[in-house]
Every structure is written in C-alpha cells, then in structure tokens.
Homo-oligomer: A and B are copies of this chain.
Amino acid sequence: LTEAALGARHRELTRLRTLARDRSARDQAGLVVIDGPRAIDGALARAASIETLYVDVEAHGAAADVADRAAAGGIAVHQVAPGAIARAGDVRANAGVIALARRPERPTRDVLEHGDRWVVCAEINDPGNLGTLMRSAEAAGATGIVVAPGSVDAYNPKTVRASAGAVFGIVVLEEYIVTVLNDLAAHGVHRIGAVSEGGIAPWDCQPPGRVAVVLGHETRGLSGLPVDELVTVPMAGAAESLNVAMAGTVLLFDLFHRAESA
C-alpha cells in the first residue's frame, strides 16, 4: 500500500470517527458502525448490508480473517495506516477492523401485532448492557426488541459490538414506551415487568403464548408503567442485584420457554 493510498483514506476515516461518535450523524447517514471482528462476523452471519470494511494494514488473526471473508463476499475492503482505526473508532482501541453497514429499515409500530416474544427496554442507559440484552433476546427466541427514547441509542457502536451482530438478527423498534405497552395490550400480548423486588419468581409465572418482558432502569425500575404482572429474579446471599443484562437474560430464557410450553 503506497503512502498516497494511505493518505487518501484520511477523509474517510474522519467520517468514520464522526459516525462512531455522533448519533445524529449516524441517523442522518442511515449507517451502522460495527467495531471489531466478532461483531462484524455476527453481522455477516445475519446478512447485514455491509458497505465498507476498514482494516489495519498490520492486522492479523481474527481481524485479518474477517477482512478476508468480507472481501470474498464482495464487500469493499480498504486497508488503512497502522493505528488509524484505533484513532477513528471510539470503542475498542485495538480491534484493527471496523465496518460500515446500512441500517436495517425502520419498522413501524404495526410490527408489534405480529411475533410472540418481545423485549421492551424502558430505560437502559448502558450501551454494553443493551447490546448484551439484544444478544440474549435473539438467542432466547425474541421476535424483536423495543428501545424507548429513555434508553441509549440502539445503534450506539458499543451496543452493536456487545450485541455480537444480534442487532441485525431481530426487529429493533425505537418507539415511545407507553405507546408500545398500550399497543401490546391491544394486540393481546401479556406484559411482564421485571422489577428488582416485589414481583413473583419467574418460575411461578404462567405466561400465555404471547409475551413481552419489560425491563426498566437499573435503579429506578419501571416507575409505574402499565404492565400485567411483575416478576423478580430471586437473589440469595448478599447479592443485592444482578445487572439488568444478566437479570434480563435469566428472565428471557425462563419466561420465553414457559410461554412456548403454554
């Protein structure tokens, strides 16, 4: 790779940095920043529309491998100067590979009428937790995840990375929480709210076939949102609480399995 070719990437990398850091720039461009080999692999496995992949000329191992797979799949792969990706990405400094994908088409609220398993995030502030929940939701068989405005951006690069590609594997609906909860009720979906205390144990819950699990703020909880039932993961010992991603993972697997057996 010539100095000139490396230099020519400069403007693209500046754009990449802006997209990685600025939600409104991402929204306007309709692009998703996918950081690191695992998330890119996950996106490829789910047939995400990856437009461009940037890989460090000195990348090796998983980063080089995923770039090879992307190139073999017809994706434009650009090599960039050593360290340039670490400076462009805001997420994990040394992954050595970063991709830009087209954002999946935004669904409308009508999507809630279909599908039997929903996850509703009322107020998840940590992008890593939201991404972990997306990964668990997909693995547990969710139709989709609702990300209310009180939560972090569903396409935050840290969320995308933690989702390991799951953000491309399930429906992602960004919509007001009360509207969603009312719609779900109107469509006959049983709304189960997760709270850190005062709910019944998930294994004492008998959900019907169609169910939505509603996850609130780490400490403020659900703040009186309209749900049909409250569940709490019982905790032993001095454990005050699991984080919302871990508690949510336990609940999604348990409750979706119970709903399936209903």
A→B interface (CB under 8 Å): 42, 45-46, 132, 135-136, 138-142, 165-166, 169-170, 201, 203, 233, 235-242, 245-246, 249-250, 253-254, 257
Contact = CB atoms under 8 A, between A and B. Distances in A.
Contacts of A42: 238
A253 to B, nearest CB: 5
A137 to B, nearest CB: 9
A45 B233 CA distance: 20
B237 A170 contact: yes
Taking the full assembly, how many copies of this chain does it contain?
Answer: 2
B136 A238 contact: no
A69 to B, nearest CB: 15
Contacts of A239: 135, 138-139, 166, 169
A240 B141 contact: no
A233 B253 contact: yes
Given A253-B254, A254-B253, A254-B254, A141 B237 contact: yes
B237 A136 contact: no
Contacts of A135: 239, 242, 246
A238 B203 contact: no
A128 to B, nearest CB: 11
A257 B203 CA distance: 9
Contacts of A241: 139
B45 A237 contact: no
Nearest to A240: B45
B136 A246 contact: yes
Given A245-B246, A250-B250, 18 more contacts: A45-B238, A45-B240, A135-B246, A136-B246, A138-B237, A138-B239, A139-B236, A141-B236, A141-B237, A142-B236, A165-B238, A166-B237, A169-B239, A201-B257, A233-B253, A242-B249, A246-B249, A250-B254
A24 to B, nearest CB: 27
Contacts of A254: 250, 253-254
Contacts of A238: 42, 45-46, 138, 165-166, 169
Nearest to A170: B237
A241 B237 CA distance: 29
26 contacts: A132-B246, A135-B239, A135-B246, A136-B246, A138-B236, A138-B237, A138-B238, A138-B239, A139-B239, A141-B236, A142-B236, A165-B238, A166-B238, A166-B239, A169-B239, A201-B257, A203-B257, A233-B253, A242-B249, A245-B246, A246-B246, A246-B249, A250-B250, A250-B254, A253-B254, A254-B254
